[in-house]
Chains A and B, each alone.
Chain A
């Protein structure tokens, strides 16, 4: 009964979304807020958004209930859950498959819509009607998709006694949070998109518009950063072999909207502060959302095969493709028609903060284009029957380094330049920062070993970090002003400034982590039996023995390894090889000793003779810095989004 109610709620939600998508949009075209009739129709948007949110949340709760209650008469539950599965994994199994993850997408979309409806009191009625209308139309598309091709409430009659279990790889804390966070990002860009479309329809785009859409975009971008971070963090310890980024098509699918989203938040700042880059910003907003949709399509349609690709039903792939074509086609058409009215906005000199941000945008887009080519070209060739090819990590790495290096170089300088027209004196003090960065990198390079790529990475990182601190000191006028109190000046700095500074410093920390982890990692595959000792970068790994352990829904072989350094005990590592009760798929559970400057990573490979295992032992320097950098970048985004000036009341906007 409950699954049918869920299904019914989705159908009602579809009708409400249709109402929300069509009525306010048309009303906003027919007349302004002054026109009482039009105003009444436009006012439909808000209650419709709330009603839709309630209905979808109800449906989502129904699905969660089916999982919690082990209702194996629901096909989706039977395929993705199991009575042995612990409760928290049964709940996260809701988005462990295609249908449920789609419902999660819609759930998050209606929550964003409701949030826009609730927090847009200070916006003009037409803008609200248009923004909510566009979001309603997106919702119509996704609800239609779920209702007609992938209903999670479909019954399995007669019901199954036991479910098939969730993919063991997904039975992990990181996987509970990764999809919702990433979807918050993907779907969050729909708000920026809706604002952009609203601006195109209205033909008006000013600083106020940028101020409205900035915090929404920043929040979405923050979520996306966290989502990508968690996915990578999970891959590092759960896929078992210590890689954290594989340039896999699925990762690329989330990385492209992130790159364009990064360009968008920078371009938005120009539009807000200087009223420039106007139609460029709009185009970026469209592209960011289009790439989010493309990401959903790539990951969920089954064209790619990986843990993420659930669906192999061609009908579904076609639906998403048509939907994508409709959204992108119509918004680009609208863009072509209306963008000239919006205009590019204010002018600026060749040497100014605007021009540096333009270069930043171009480089980020080039990077996104690179990823797009490497991800889509093999798919196109395959679809056209022109042979199967693949493009591996070497391609992405060779292209990314030369694209990102100039960007990192400019990143530290950008904040020093003045808007509109900068002078050489703005950046004169930066030479000392440069000298300091080079010296610091050489010193660090001497400590860990010198190679050109390593030196370049460390120099750029030091340049960004020292540059950021230097900018803060200048901004606080630490050396000139001794009349006012420093803590007072500190508290005067706006949240968006701290956000920028921390995110930029996060990039520096991240670059240090990547440079050292990639350049200085040591990995050994060695056959070992109990009693054997293997030596890696000053650590001795002693294989103590093996034992059998039982988990809730698996049994495992657990190895015990004592790690010592110069005779001193460091840690005992317990890697496992798990065999799940429900399926024949074995799983490698690595053991990691994390540290601020190095991770020790140990995984059981395969048993070649009884008691004799191939073991992968890795010494990975500065991996923690990769994660710390990513978290700093995300917190920078959050701080910027919380800036007080975005909460200004009516009239000031």
Chain B
């Protein structure tokens, strides 16, 4: 090959690699995007296949342990004070998870209307509310105000 052709081949190979990398990145990105939603939005949407991140308050008195008999499954209700979504989670709840306080759950809405959470996040300290939970409450309150 002449140097000129060599250079051209090199540039072409580089571009092909770059395109491959870009494709890889963007497809992985599309696949793993997680949308933050409020309980109201969860119930309004029909998409059950997507991973969602839902924020709101843990309804007072809704926490039930051991619904499954395995000792580690918990059920509770996440609410934006307008809509309520039952959530099931298997595992250890974060230290700051409490009824009546804000929390964010990540997972999918099951066919039976129960949100199956794979991850539960609570606020970081006493006076801080997760932004997703705060937004859910604010939007629900605004919607209520308009009615």
Contact = CB atoms under 8 A, between A and B. Distances in A.
Most buried by A among B10, B33, B90, B135: B33
B92 A373 contact: no
Nearest to B28: A398
Interface in A359-393: 362, 366, 369-370, 373-374, 377, 387-392
A402 interface: yes
Contacts of B135: 388
Contacts of B28: 394-395, 398-399
Interface string B93-137: 101100000000010000000000000000011101011100100
B25 A373 contact: yes
Contact of B6 (A306, A350, A388): A350
B5 to A, nearest CB: 12
A588 B95 CA distance: 8
Given A373-B25, A606-B92, A527 B71 contact: yes
Contact of B35 (A241, A369, A377, A388): A388
A394 B21 contact: no
B32 interface: yes
Contacts of A4: none
A371 to B, nearest CB: 10
B34 A389 contact: yes
Contact of A614 (B36, B72, B131, B132): B72
A403 B6 CA distance: 25
A14 B30 CA distance: 47
A369 B36 CA distance: 24
B91 interface: yes
A167 B131 contact: no
A527 B68 CA distance: 13
A606 B36 contact: no
B65 interface: yes
B66 interface: yes
A394 B34 CA distance: 11
Contacts of B6: 350
B21 A389 contact: no
A389 B55 CA distance: 12
B53 interface: yes
A448 interface: no
B123 to A, nearest CB: 9
Nearest to A400: B28
A352 interface: no
A608 B65 contact: yes
B29 A374 contact: yes
Contacts of A389: 33-36
Contacts of A398: 24, 28, 31-32
Contacts of A240: 95
Contacts of A305: 124, 128, 130-131
Interface in A153-177: 167
A616 interface: yes
Nearest to B10: A350
B36 A387 contact: yes
Contacts of B17: 362
A362 B14 CA distance: 10
A571 interface: no
Interface in A220-263: 240-241
B93 A370 contact: no
Interface in A83-98: none
B24 A402 contact: yes
A390 B36 contact: yes
B22 to A, nearest CB: 9
B72 A585 contact: no
A62 B103 CA distance: 41
Given A373-B25, A390-B53, A395-B28, A583 B126 contact: yes
A614 B92 contact: yes
B35 A387 contact: yes
B89 to A, nearest CB: 11
Contacts of A392: 32, 34, 106
A583 B123 CA distance: 14
Given A526-B72, A608-B71, A614-B71, A585 B126 contact: yes
Nearest to B65: A608
B91 A525 contact: yes
Most buried by B among A307, A377, A527: A527
Interface string A486-527: 000000000000000000000000000000000000000111
A436 interface: no
A373 B27 CA distance: 13
Nearest to B9: A350
B92 A391 contact: no
A370 B25 CA distance: 7
Given A402-B24, A586-B95, 5 more contacts: A370-B25, A373-B29, A585-B125, A606-B93, A614-B72
Interface of A: 167, 240-241, 305-307, 350, 362, 366, 369-370, 373-374, 377, 387-392, 394-395, 398-399, 402-403, 525-527, 577, 583-588, 603, 605-606, 608, 614, 616
Interface of B: 6, 10, 14, 17, 21, 24-25, 28-29, 31-36, 53, 65-66, 71-72, 90-93, 95-96, 106, 124-126, 128, 130-132, 135
7 contacts: A362-B17, A366-B25, A389-B35, A391-B32, A606-B93, A608-B66, A614-B71
List the 10 closest pairs (A to B, CB-CB), nearest first.
A527-B71, A605-B92, A388-B36, A395-B32, A398-B28, A586-B95, A394-B32, A525-B72, A390-B34, A399-B28
